Amino acid sequence: MKHIFQKGNDSSKPTLLLLHGTGGTEQDLLPLADKVDPDANILSVRGNVLENGMPRFFRRLAEGVFDEEDLVFRTKALNEFLDEAAQKYAFDRNQILAIGYSNGANIAASLLFHYPDAIIGAILHHPMVPRRGMKLPNLSGRNVFIAAGTNDPICSPGESEELRSLLEGAGAKVDLHWENKGHQLTFHEVEAAGKWYKHI
């Protein structure tokens, strides 16, 4: 997968895995990583599915309607890419924390749903429930920050609560942060994510 790796100056920190929103690139979330932990390694990946030329991490059939088979396939591929990247760049495979926005948050949530050891936690900006009707693995010890919008036209408040309760039901520790806004990524929620990160 096309990506950027930037070595941090403190190897005791997790590696931050950055996953952009639909139509984004691996450049988009670099400023977020700097806010959250300027000393950590950064692995920022570009989704390799194209929707009318816009990069994404998995296919969808319509807005908010995911191609589940493709989601499962791409989640596995991303998890394998993390194995390869950890070897190539010599960082700790067991210390990856994802930061995703929208479509990138959805595949980060899907990593948690399918691979309990893929990431130690995640900052999810405006995620949805990636899949329903499946049993989640044991996620105890995993920390998740969700930033959601009370007026998000893509993800309703009910869906954000549903994601929280699915993750908590699997044992993860979840903090749900509300913005009185829509689907956009706000400076305020990035600051809140940075504060949350300092306490995990």
Is 183 part of the annotated catalytic residue set?
Answer: yes
* Cα–Cα nearest to 129, from 94, 157, 97: 157
The binding site for ligand MLT (CB under 6 A) comprises 21-22, 60, 63-64, 102-103, 106, 128, 154
As measured in angstroms, the least distance from the Cβ of 93 to ligand MLT is 26
Which residue has its beta carbon closest to ligand MLT? 103
Q: What is the DSSP string of the chain?
A: --EEEE--S-TTSPEEEEEPPTT--TTTTHHHHHHH-TTS-EEEE---EEETTEEESS-EEETTEE-HHHHHHHHHHHHHHHHHHHHHHT--TT-EEEEEETHHHHHHHHHHHH-TTS-SEEEEES-----SS------TT-EEEEEEETT-SSS-HHHHHHHHHHHHHTT-EEEEEEESS-SS--HHHHHHHHHHHHT-
As measured in angstroms, the least distance from the Cβ of 130 to ligand MLT is 8
Judged by CB, which is closer to ligand MLT: 92, or 159?
159
Is 83 part of the annotated catalytic residue set?
Answer: no
Judged by CB, which is closer to ligand MLT: 12, or 52?
52
Is 126 part of the annotated catalytic residue set?
Answer: no
As measured in angstroms, the least distance from the Cβ of 185 to ligand MLT is 12
As measured in angstroms, the least distance from the Cβ of 22 to ligand MLT is 4
d(CA 99, CA 185): 12
Judged by CB, which is closer to ligand MLT: 105, or 193?
105
Residue of 44, 102, 110, 160 with catalytic role = 102
Judged by CB, which is closer to ligand MLT: 85, or 128?
128
Catalytically active residues, by annotation:
102, 152, 183
